Chains A and B, each alone.
Chain A
């Protein structure tokens, strides 16, 4: 389902980007890049000092005819961008999430980002990882690949 997953650093350079190999990866790179503008727009719109968990998940950034792009930003302004196929409706729940307070956790999109966030945290915890380097962790890789395959 998720055809492309990307981790963007605070300075808006990619730390990690992975697409399903069948697709034209460059296209996804462009999509992710353009979605950064939307992410920044949403971040600035928040403007709150206190950012609670819910706000980390930005939800649908913008849809195209083929794909939908979802965003998630961490407290350290590290952004996770996920491109999913429009034909896959599993992530539509994220719209529902905003409706009811208690359901936001149940949206699969949110959970996927949580997984990403957790894996990213694990990468950060690795003392051998210098923040700002490209993420080369095999565990992170495996998790992302599983997400891309599973979501399909």
Chain B
């Protein structure tokens, strides 16, 4: 036989026919098989057929090899064209039409036509020429159109139509992956593909609309592994949801249960592209996981400890080794606990494993938890596939090192804490107690609902700074004279015992902590009387101005608030009005103040006032008061006394704010409002944090904070104002010092923290080696 040259159309047609006839995929065509039928369909005389067979050498070989078959086809064409059958005619006859075979079945025809729809060049010629099905109806025309010509030994009778429409019906993704995993459940009644691939089926179907690759895939692929209960160990698994998702596919699976054939290139391609898809978590699944998470850990942003997770996943009855591997995959940050994302990933892996999927060696991208807790809130819901095939890009980047989440968690805390501590800035407040102050405080107490004792204090600074809001902080600030300050502060809140304790604490602290000594004693007033006079003035001023100021604020001594004490008692002290006892103790305890503050007598008066006033007062400034009180107390002793209390927090704030104040150089009372506000809200926050920092500034801050609450006196008394200004400046300097010291402490602590974290980081990178 001379070589056979075929045109492209002929080549294709012949190959299709060959594949059609080569039902056994043996690359040989049985002579008694479809070839005969084919030739008969050519409507040639039997003799011609025999002659053709003889010519092509099939008779000689006993079978139709591909070349023989092609030659035979060519000869058929020749014969159909009317040319004499000669071996030479194979190549000599030009423009030979393609051999025609009458299709005996419409389905074949339609199928053939359909399968060839994509073959534009063959369209015309094939329309009516379809090899008759050998009566088996098993021909899968799809295969004919396959370039690879994968013959299908479809043993099972199949719907001829099924292959064509299978891509749309069946879930292509899951079968691919399942076949990949070599899971072919014998039965298929309860087969349910993982819900994950579900969403992708439609895209797959669309992608394969034209190609018959789907057929190939379909016919070849094995039914998905059984999914009786994709969550068998947990509560009722949402199999229903899964079922609803793929009702058609289930049916197809049962019908298209073909023996697995070699995966075509398309299949493989599809598998690789969709490999991640089975790991995608659908909405139903995710919701289910979240619900399960909630049963263990109600806080969605919290962690599930390892022990709880172990119990939970042990219920799945998977072997421990596999659970261990799942844990390794899903605990992304290796912290021994599972976040919501990690839990969902682990759950999904368990489900997959129970359904027969093999566990991956590394976590699929779609299951990667969102790293960086900062972004958790935004990314929780993003695990579902956002794009059809592509893995969710948001989850993809494992670029963040596993160590980052932990670090990032700590950094925000750092910032927050530093912010909390940094908010308050001290407000210089005169704390010179005096009769007038006390009177004013009393007045203020009665009158205003604002910080009681600090009202006068507040007034003062308010005059200066024209801020009315300073409450107790003002009192503190102005309470240079310890007695006054304390009296005022006492007047508005703290219990006497507490105050006393505060005072004692302050003293003790002063001895111990270097910071205690840092705040220098308030600059010796020229004369106590002088301050007194000024305080008197201020009192007057306050009295005038403070309609709202409480009498408690009388103690408005511009004394520098003493260093905040770390152990300052929390709010309770503040809230309680200062008792006379406390005042007395304070006064007595502050040696510096005693000489400086001949107002002790005033204190007694003040105490009376305070007692009377304090009881009356209950206000929002109660918080401030406590702060102010301690601040006052602390400020009075200045160097010696430290008010340990919640004011420590205030102090922190003041410390933070003090430098701000100082740096800003604004009016002393300018900052007060801020500390007040912050103090109010940060009181609770700082309470636990206080201990670390020196409270010196806290108290000051409290005092200062209270200042803004002081209603402004409208320049009633210039002298008083000026005096208060002077005092406030003094207070300012002291506060500034305090603040600087606190800032230094804060820096040290932060540096320590940073160094620790650096060390941690150093250890971490080892994993990258």
A-to-B contact residues, CB < 8 Å: 105, 111-112, 114-115, 118-119, 121-122, 125-129, 136-139, 142
Contact = CB atoms under 8 A, between A and B. Distances in A.
Interface stretch (B71-79, B382-390, B648-656, B761-769): B761-769
A135 B361 CA distance: 17
Nearest to A137: B328
A88 to B, nearest CB: 17
B748 interface: no
Nearest to B361: A138
B309 interface: yes
Contacts of A128: 310, 313-314, 320, 323-324, 327
B328 A139 contact: yes
A122 B763 CA distance: 14
Given A122-B328, A136-B321, A138-B325, A127 B335 contact: no
The CB with the most chain B CB atoms within 10 A, among A111, A125, A127, A137, is that of A127
Given A125-B334, A127-B336, A111 B324 contact: no
B307 interface: yes
B449 interface: no
B306 interface: yes
Nearest to A138: B325
Contact of B306 (A125, A139, A142): A125
Given A125-B306, A128-B310, A138-B361, A118 B325 contact: no
A7 B655 CA distance: 53
A97 to B, nearest CB: 15
22 contacts: A105-B762, A111-B766, A111-B769, A114-B763, A114-B769, A115-B769, A122-B328, A122-B334, A125-B335, A126-B324, A126-B336, A127-B307, A127-B327, A128-B310, A128-B320, A128-B323, A128-B327, A136-B321, A137-B324, A138-B325, A138-B361, A142-B361
B334 A127 contact: no
Contacts of B313: 128
B331 interface: yes
A127 B762 CA distance: 26
Contacts of B310: 127-128
Q: Is the interface of B mostly helix, strand, loop or mixed?
A: helix
Contacts of B314: 128
A127 B314 CA distance: 11
Contacts of A136: 321, 324
Interface of B: 306-307, 309-310, 313-314, 320-321, 323-325, 327-328, 331, 334-336, 361, 762-763, 766-767, 769
Given A126-B327, A139-B328, 4 more contacts: A126-B324, A128-B310, A136-B324, A142-B361
A127 B335 CA distance: 11
A114 B309 CA distance: 28
B634 to A, nearest CB: 40
B328 A138 contact: yes
Contacts of B769: 111-112, 114-115
Nearest to A139: B328
Nearest to B328: A139
Given A111-B769, A115-B766, A126 B321 contact: no
Contacts of A111: 766, 769
- Which 9 A-B pairs rank lowest in CB-CB distance, beginning with the nearest? A127-B306, A127-B310, A128-B324, A125-B336, A114-B766, A128-B323, A126-B327, A139-B328, A122-B334
B28 to A, nearest CB: 45
Contacts of B327: 126-128
A119 to B, nearest CB: 8
Contacts of A115: 766-767, 769
A88 B361 CA distance: 31
B328 A118 contact: no
Contacts of A119: 767
Given A136-B321, A138-B361, A126 B767 contact: no
Nearest to B402: A122
A110 to B, nearest CB: 10
